[in-house]
Amino acid sequence: MKFPIIDMHCDLLSYLEYVPGADPFFPKIGCNLNALKAGNVKLQVMAIYTGTEKGSSETGLKESEIFKQLLKTHSDKVSLVKDIASLNTAIASDKTGMVVSIENASGFCEEDEPVENGFKKLDKIISNVERVIYISFTHHGENRFGGGNYTEAGLKDDGKKLLDYMSGKKIALDLSHTSDALAYGQLEHIDKHNLDIPIIASHSNFSAIFDHPRNLPDDLAKEIIKRKGIIGVNFLRAFLNNDDPDVFYDHVLHCVNKLGGENAICFGADYFFASEPDPKRLPYYHKDKEDASCYPALLKNLEGKVLEGFLENMSHKNVVNFINRIWKP
Ligand SMILES: [Zn+2]
């Protein structure tokens, strides 16, 4: 049985923005449109990624234009997913559905402008792409909103304002790139003020299986599961295990058997293209996870290790249920 696949994170938009002559069919980016089709991907979340640098909000806006253009130019291959109806259509069609997320809030707010300007720019991005499924406040580093995964900084005042702004807007908060201090600061602020914000980790693995600052400590993963969020398993060698590709399955089974996350686990492959690759990290992916055509084979290898129904859940149902819950009119 070939399940429909949903993947919660890729960097096709920033590749198309940052790399001169970039092409959405370029085989060396794992989420190229041909690989997505080959992998039966019916919804791919496309991150608007920028660094925290001068002009980041212009770059973010440009990536939203690129998203619109992709939909127009390749309407035979991709479709917009903006509500539950268009999600169902995408799953039943032979196209790949697409929805935008924002990885690093610097994509809509410069470090040195009034934060309210940033919210206006966020509104502009949302009106361009019609739906933003989640926002991650930071990338690796620190910005005006809080501390990223390689920092110790927590939630800042502007971060609190951003949470207040997000409440009730049906946009999830992504914890994949937070410092632990930022994640707990965000959860505390949400609880204290009773904010309506779904919680996810779009592309993160588990520290208990492989210790890395990008991976989730069990306590944080349990918080996400308790709040009915989802956790997308990341395919990067550096976060799975540098040497053994099969540790991928240990991450999945840890989430299911140790954390009770059978209704939370999904894919967050994190395909990107490095124009100046870091030689220490090459190859970025193990051979069996090189591009998006690999999802069916990975699921097949889980057969016999999981309960019936699980593969359907992990492939797409967990995300479908999550989206039905957070987007319901
Ligand atoms: Zn990322």
> The tokens of 125 are what?
């991005």
How much distance in Å is there from the Cα of 52 to the middle of ligand 1? 14
Ligand 1 center–CA 92 separation, angstroms = 29
Residue 139 C-alpha to ligand 1 middle, in angstroms?
Answer: 7
Convert the pLDDT of each residue in 129-173 to its tens digit.
999 999 999 999 999 999 999 999 999 999 999 999 999 999 999
pLDDT of residue 118: 98
The alpha carbon of 219 and the centre of ligand 1 are apart by a number of angstroms equal to 21
CA of residue 203 to ligand 1 center, whole Å: 7
At residue 20, what is the residue type? P
Among candidate residues 293, 226, 207, the one with its CA nearest the CA of residue 27: 293
| CA of residue 147 to ligand 1 center, whole Å | 14
Q: Which residues of the chain have pLDDT under 50?
A: none
How far is the C-alpha of 319 from the C-alpha of 321, rounded, in Å? Answer: 5
275: exposed, middle or buried (Cβ count in 10 Å: 0-12, 13-18, 19+): exposed
- Total-model pTM: 0.98
CA dist list (Å): 134 to 100, 104, 199, 259:
8, 11, 9, 23
Centre of ligand 1 to C-alpha 270, Å, is 7
Measured in angstroms, how far is the CA atom of residue 214 from the centroid of ligand 1?
9
Closest by CA to 17, choosing from 272, 267, 236, 277, is 272
pLDDT at 162: 98
Q: Which residue has the tokens 């539950």?
A: 84
Q: What is the overall mean pLDDT for the chain? A: 97
Distance 149 CA to ligand 1 centre (A): 10
* pLDDT score for 1: 63
Task: Tell me the CA–centroid distance for residue 290 and ligand 1, in Å.
Answer: 17
Q: How far is the CA of 107 from the centre of ligand 1 (A)?
A: 14
Burial bucket for residue 9 (CB in 10 Å: 0-12, 13-18, 19+): buried
Distance 286 CA to ligand 1 centre (A): 18
* CA 102 to ligand 1 center in whole angstroms: 10
Residue 61 vs residues 15, 46, 47, 172, 240: alpha-carbon distances, Å: 14, 14, 12, 20, 32
CA of 321 to the centre of ligand 1 (A): 23
Q: Strands 142-143 and 146-147: what pairing? A: antiparallel
Fold of 5-327: TIM Barrel (3.20.20)
Distance 276 CA to ligand 1 centre (A): 17
CA of 307 to the centre of ligand 1 (A): 30
Q: What is the pLDDT of residue 307?
A: 92
pLDDT per position as a tens digit, 1-26: 689 999 999 999 999 999 999 999 99
Please tell me the distance between residue 308's alpha carbon and the centre of ligand 1 in angstroms: 31
Rounded distance from Cα 176 to ligand 1 centre (Å): 7
The residue ranges of every structural domain in the chain are 5-327
Compute, in angstroms, the gap from residue 304 CA to the centroid of ligand 1. 31
Pairwise CA distance, residues 266 & 323, whole Å: 13
| Pairwise CA distance, residues 229 & 265, whole Å | 9
